[in-house]
Amino acid sequence: MALFAYRCRNCGLFTFPLPCLCRSCGGREFEAVPLSSRCRLITWTRLFALPSGYKKPWRSFGIAEFENGLRVTGVLDCKNPMVGMELHAVRGIVRTHPDARSETGFIFQAENGPGLLP
């Protein structure tokens, strides 16, 4: 799955998900643009109190910043996360519901490979 974000056609601000208005300039037109996978971990947590529908013991999440300044929240697939570390983002299945529906989103992996999601 391709990694992408949205860019305001007026001021160039990168954003995700698609907003109605640009929070920087009020622009209303956006274009989907490919996103480089390189990003940096801003903060993270390992969540043990998962919402209903999960059959996993825990899952890690993080906020990462891309080189263009865009910050997004995603699933963190990394064995020893550290604030500030370089990551590699992919887009993939982040959650599968009990009825087999799945959700896609950002997954952040260490540059030397995934930590193998539980």
- Residues found near other proteins in the complex (CB under 8 A): 15-17, 23, 42-54, 59, 61-63, 71-75, 83, 94-95, 103, 105
Nearer to other proteins, 14 or 88 (CB): 14
Neighbours of 89 (CB within 10 A): 19
How far is residue 90's CA from residue 55's CA, in Å, rounded to a whole number? 23
Do residues 33 and 75 make contact, with C-beta atoms less than 8 angstroms apart? no
User: Given the DSSP bridges, would you call strands 4-8 and 30-34 parallel, antiparallel or unpaired?
Assistant: antiparallel
The residues that bridge with 65 in the sheet, in sequence order, are: 40, 71
Q: How far is the CB of 33 from other proteins (least distance, A)?
A: 17
CB of 111 to other proteins, least distance (A): 21
Q: Smallest distance, Å, CB 24 to other proteins? A: 10
| CB closer to other proteins, 42 vs 85 | 42
**Closer Cβ to other proteins, 10 or 71, answer by number:** 71
Q: Quick one: 46 or 79, whose CB is closer to other proteins?
A: 46
Distance CA 18, CA 51 (A): 25
Q: How far is the CB of 3 from other proteins (least distance, A)?
A: 15
Q: How far apart are alpha carbons 42 and 62 in whole angstroms?
A: 7
